[in-house]
Amino acid sequence: MKLKTYFVIVPACLAMFPTHAADSVPQAVINTATQYLPGFNSGRIEPSPIPGLYMLRYGPNIFYMSADGRYIVRGDVIDITEGSNLTEMARKKARIDSIISLKEDDMIVFSPEIVDATVTVFTDITCPYCAKFHQEVPKLNENGIKVRYLAYPRVGVPSPVAEDMASIWCADDRHQALTDAKAGLGVEPETCTNPVKEHYDAGNKVGVEGTPTIVLEDGTMLGGYVPYLRLADAARQASKQYLGR
């Protein structure tokens, strides 16, 4: 069978539409998804709010499949009654799940004494805007924002940049090593078991396309440099949304 894919935007999802039972995913949907999406986990299929379509979470991508497993729709489902983008909500959840799967001990964390909100940042030591962002980390901390860094060498892994970032993560003082590298002071070679490849793969999974990429607590993803006051406000709002405060 040849999989037909239609790249369309589903314009509306009315609140009156019934949802399917969570255990009623047709076998045809499971078969097609596992056959045509490499490494797909069937546990990432769930009923969508639209009768006859099932939602598939595949990394940062959200697809909808017909019950017979023949058609895939890629696009955003908008609930015009509630004014919400249901697909983006699913993307946010996928990002949160990916970030939660990573150990904070494997991140380089700059934290204030009292934390109002947390941002997780995919960074590259060769990125000028990452260096600019890093200069404002003390101001973010002063505003109650914890900054957690993940390694994302843009040129890929393996690469000389990835090796330098591994050395930073292996340094006795990661914080100073990262700060020095972002200031252009060079990197002392070090070796150890490090999370650079894991961080890089996680970045690809959530859809990182450049650095810095900032993920807020509610799964919102911001690409590029954001001034610290605007970021602090956005981070606090996202934390409230995520924690229901």
Task: Tell me which residues are annotated as active site.
Answer: 124, 127, 130, 154
> Maximum CA pair distance of the chain?
61
102 Cβ contact list (under 8 Å, min separation 6): 150, 195, 198, 199, 202
Nearest to 46 by CA among 25, 29, 63: 25
CA-CA distances (angstroms) from residue 239 to 95, 105, 116, 242?
15, 21, 8, 5
Nearest to 121 by CA among 242, 233, 236, 221: 221
In the three-class reduction of DSSP (H, G, I as helix; E, B as strand; rest coil), residue 111 is classed as coil
